[in-house]
């Protein structure tokens, strides 16, 4: 809750800590175990890039979220509440637990987190530290909306009475520029730096990739499967460990019109910039998107128009896209009173590429929760295939790595709304290694070389900021 709607904007780190401490102590110094509520303390502060602030905090438990078109950025640090599990959740039980928590009297707060692509597969070493699913109420948030910036602290009562002293210590350890807004502006002018990698390893290499695509083409010919989405992992090693927040900072500037996210585990940091929405819900109204079919951007205006026309006119890409649209329509049709579907795919234009996109919207039936959507929508044919179960079996058989949270849902759940994206164009930073993940939808008519280049173009958002060109199929 706001301390005072008319408070003067705080312009120094010392004063920020004092304001937070004063408000926290007001709530916690007279414990009442009968109080069961959610409290949000908000302090209006000088304008500051949330990612600059996030980069100043310790490595433990940092998160970040920015919606695709929203002028709304949230950098988060620390944990006030966590819900997680190492296997497929019991969705009705999880929905009740989340609802019971968020419906406490008081502030309307959000839980941020995500899930594995395959909840039935155990994590391998690439994803140790990332549970099957995890949702967190952050302790501290720097929330920037338009020209306004708030420093927030979330309290959970009565639980936080028991951690009063530790919470006060956390506030005292929060980092800020020493001299307020002037210092911030000087710091934000400094461009984040990313070291150059010293090696690259492709999994699979092109010969292995060609064998996987040819296996898929044979499966299509024998009517075993209609579509399968196969992924590649590219590992970059560095002499100096790259800073994940600096990576995301540069990535955010280079990838407008995307969802940007960062989640921390005990073993690494998962971050990315994805164009694909899984669903957005406000009240009972829900919207999802079918995104499939890819072309690059052109070097010239004429080239760009030619690529757009090629995508819109491509029978193969339209067929691949239709699989995704029909599956999402079927899922929402089973959860909604009514469903509306774009009849024709249009272009989603990005900084480095373009996709076909169709929107599917509906009005959820009474009793349908966000966890019904999280249980039934993923994996869509945009990241799995058709039929789903057979495509997943092919992915398990052919891919020599764990997808982990790649291609899984990431986002947030609130009291009256929720938003999740599909975690694409993403990577994991573990020490001095950055692992990037990206995939291509294969259907009858796919070509190994073309699909390799498509994936290279998708990871270009990352490779360009570390000074690398795409690797051709040879």
SS3 81: strand
* CB burial string 72-89: b at 16+ within 10 A, e below: ebbbbbbebbebeeeeeb
pLDDT in tens, 196-208: 899 999 999 999 9
Return the pLDDT at 8.
Answer: 59
For residue 296, how far is the Cα from the chain centroid? 22
Return the pLDDT at 20.
Answer: 92
Residue 426 has pLDDT above 60, yes or no: yes
Residue 183 has pLDDT above 60, yes or no: no
Q: pLDDT tier at 191 (50, 70, 90 boundaries)? A: low
Structural domains in the chain plus CATH codes:
13-188 (3.60.120.10), 197-465 (3.60.120.10)
Identify the CA nearest to 372 among candidates 263, 274, 289, 286.
Answer: 286
Q: For 61, which DSSP code?
A: T
Residue 181 has pLDDT above 60, yes or no: no
Mean predicted lDDT score pLDDT of the chain: 90
Return the pLDDT at 187.
Answer: 53
Residue 7 has pLDDT above 50, yes or no: no
Neighbours of 434 (CB within 10 A): 25
Helix (H) or strand (E) holding 50: helix 50-56
Q: Which of 252, 276, 320, 419 is catalytic?
A: 276
Helix (H) or strand (E) holding 363: strand 353-364
Residue 474 has pLDDT above 80, yes or no: no
Average pLDDT of the residues in 280-300: 92
How far is the C-alpha of 87 from the C-alpha of 396, rounded, in Å?
17
Under 8 Å between Cβ of 380 and 327:
yes
pLDDT in tens, 80-136: 999 999 999 999 999 999 999 999 999 999 999 999 999 988 888 778 889 999 999
Q: Which of 19, 61, 141, 227 is catalytic?
A: 227
Please confirm, yes or no, whether 389 is among the known catalytic residues: no
Return the pLDDT at 419.
Answer: 97
Return the pLDDT at 2.
Answer: 42
CB under 8 Å to 125, separation ≥6 — which residues? none
Under 8 Å between Cβ of 69 and 263:
no
Please confirm, yes or no, whether 42 is among the known catalytic residues: no
Q: pLDDT tier at 216 (50, 70, 90 boundaries)? A: very high
pLDDT in tens, 234-258: 999 999 999 999 999 999 988 899 9
């Amino acid at each position: 809750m706001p301390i005072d709607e008319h408070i003067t904007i705080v312009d120094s780190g010392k004063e920020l800590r004092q304001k937070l401490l004063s408000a926290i102590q007001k709530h916690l110094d007279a414990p009442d175990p009968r109080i069961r509520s959610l409290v949000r303390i908000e302090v209006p502060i000088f304008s500051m890039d949330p990612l600059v602030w996030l980069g100043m905090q310790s490595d433990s438990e940092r998160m970040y979220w920015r919606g695709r078109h929203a002028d709304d950025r949230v950098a988060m640090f620390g944990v006030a509440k966590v819900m997680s599990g190492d296997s497929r959740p019991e969705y009705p039980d999880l929905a009740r637990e989340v609802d019971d928590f968020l419906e406490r009297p008081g502030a309307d707060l959000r839980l941020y987190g995500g899930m594995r692509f395959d909840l039935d597969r155990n994590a391998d070493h690439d994803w140790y530290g990332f549970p099957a699913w995890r949702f967190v109420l952050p302790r501290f948030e720097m929330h920037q909306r338009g020209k306004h910036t708030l420093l927030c602290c979330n309290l959970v009562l009565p639980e936080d009475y028991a951690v009063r002293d530790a919470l006060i210590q956390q506030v005292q350890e929060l980092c800020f520029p020493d001299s307020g807004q002037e210092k911030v502006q000087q710091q934000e002018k400094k461009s984040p730096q990313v070291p150059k990698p010293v090696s690259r390893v492709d999994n699979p290499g092109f010969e292995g990739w060609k064998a996987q695509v040819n296996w898929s083409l044979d499966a299509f010919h024998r009517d075993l499967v209609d579509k399968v989405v196969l992924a590649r992992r590219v590992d970059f090693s560095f002499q100096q460990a790259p800073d994940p927040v600096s990576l995301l900072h540069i990535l955010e500037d280079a990838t407008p019109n995307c969802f940007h996210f960062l989640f921390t585990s005990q073993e690494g940091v998962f971050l990315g910039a994805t164009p694909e929405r899984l669903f957005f819900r406000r009240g009972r109204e829900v919207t999802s998107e079918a995104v499939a079919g890819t072309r690059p951007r052109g070097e010239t205006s004429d080239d760009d128009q030619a690529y757009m026309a090629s995508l819109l006119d491509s029978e193969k890409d339209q067929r691949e896209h239709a699989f995704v649209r029909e599956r999402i329509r079927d899922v929402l049709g089973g959860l909604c009173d009514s469903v509306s579907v774009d009849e024709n795919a249009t272009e989603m234009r990005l900084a480095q590429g373009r996709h076909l996109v169709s929107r599917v919207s509906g009005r959820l039936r009474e009793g349908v929760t966000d966890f019904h959507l999280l249980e039934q929508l993923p994996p869509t044919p945009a990241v799995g295939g058709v039929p789903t179960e057979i495509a997943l079996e092919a992915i398990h058989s052919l891919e020599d790595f764990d997808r982990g949270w790649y291609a899984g849902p990431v986002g947030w759940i609130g009291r009256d709304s929720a938003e999740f994206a599909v975690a694409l164009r993403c990577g994991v930073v573990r020490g001095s290694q950055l692992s990037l993940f990206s995939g291509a939808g294969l259907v009858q008519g796919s070509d190994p070389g073309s699909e390799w280049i498509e994936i290279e173009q998708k990871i270009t958002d990352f490779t360009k900021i570390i000074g690398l060109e795409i690797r051709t199929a040879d």
